[in-house]
């Protein structure tokens, strides 16, 4: 029997829906008619081997890579990505976090967050700086606001990029392996921010190899391989010790690799 919370989530319409997304790059078909949906407050985690299509899928959802075919809906409205105005409005509502931070080296942390508020949301400078400060405090960087990217650790840079995305008030966050470029001791500080966002109800799709994090927080795990969704289900269904799934085998190998490195 479903709980009241589960029943409510089941009845909700998806906030994001993608249908039959395909993409070919360099003559290779990276995505093959991938479809999924995301409800408000859900955290869905993409896992799978390198080259499976995880990053390409996230970039196609946000039209950073235009899909060769397929459709995307936000709040029931299909996105017409050929209309620049519609595309810009969509991207303001869908935040994107990359592996390599994408910060402006010539701007300090505060200005890296404030600049989009001024340029895109047309906020006045004092208002933009106040909002930027609030978001940097939210990710635990209130004492780093005047530092430049070269003066920040990798984990701090990634938290600045998260603050920058949050400042735009996105309905959805897309996170493309946000800890993959970090030293092991810095991963935890970024995962802590993502955990807080999940507990706060932020709607997210996260590509990651952090399996313990996935087991503890994901509403659904989506296993991509060779450009298709091979498996999808809850962590209990796909990753439990007695599960006979490709997802579990893949994650077990990752766990073994981490133990060897440790």
Contacts of 39 (CB under 8 A, 6+ apart): 9, 12, 13, 14, 15, 203
d(CA 100, CA 15): 27
Question: Domain boundaries in the chain?
Answer: 13-104+172-261
pTM, to two decimals: 0.90
d(CA 98, CA 174): 9
DSSP SS3 for 20: strand
Does 13-104+172-261 carry CATH code 3.40.50.720? no
Torsional sign, CA 201, 214, 15, 9: negative
Contacts of 20 (CB under 8 A, 6+ apart): 33, 34, 35, 69, 70, 71
DSSP SS3 for 40: coil
- Per-residue pLDDT, 6: 46
d(CA 115, CA 108): 11
Residue numbers in the chain where pLDDT is lower than 50: 1-10, 259-262
Give the tens place of pLDDT for each residue, 200-256: 999 999 999 888 899 999 999 999 999 999 999 999 999 988 888 999 888 887 755
Confirm if 184 and 259 have CB atoms less than 8 A apart.
no
d(CA 166, CA 29): 33
Give the tens place of pLDDT for each residue, 69-89: 999 999 999 998 888 888 988
d(CA 149, CA 108): 7
């Amino acid at each position: 029997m479903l709980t009241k919370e589960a029943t409510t989530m089941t009845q909700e319409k998806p906030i994001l829906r993608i249908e039959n997304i395909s993409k070919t790059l360099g003559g290779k078909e990276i995505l093959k008619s991938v479809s999924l949906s995301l409800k408000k407050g859900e955290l869905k985690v993409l896992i799978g081997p390198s080259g499976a299509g995880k990053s390409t899928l996230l970039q196609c959802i946000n039209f950073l890579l235009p899909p060769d075919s397929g459709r995307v809906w936000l709040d029931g409205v299909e996105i017409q990505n050929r209309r620049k105005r519609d595309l810009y409005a969509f991207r303001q509502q869908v935040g994107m976090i990359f592996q390599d931070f994408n910060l402006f080296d010539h701007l300090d942390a505060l200005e890296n967050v404030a600049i989009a508020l001024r340029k895109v949301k047309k906020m006045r400078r004092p208002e933009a700086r106040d909002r930027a400060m609030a978001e940097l405090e939210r990710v635990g960087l209130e004492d780093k606001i005047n530092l430049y990217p070269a003066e920040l650790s990798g984990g701090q840079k990634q938290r600045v990029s998260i603050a920058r995305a949050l400042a735009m008030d996105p309905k959805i966050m897309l996170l493309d392996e946000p800890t993959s470029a970090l030293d092991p001791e810095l991963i935890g500080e970024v995962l802590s921010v993502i955990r807080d966002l999940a507990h706060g109800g932020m709607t997210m799709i996260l590509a990651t190899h952090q399996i313990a994090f996935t087991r503890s927080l994901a509403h659904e795990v989506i296993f991509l391989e060779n450009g298709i969704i091979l498996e999808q289900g809850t962590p209990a269904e796909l990753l439990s010790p007695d599960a006979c799934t490709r997802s579990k085998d893949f994650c077990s190998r990752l766990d073994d690799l981490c133990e060897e490195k440790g």
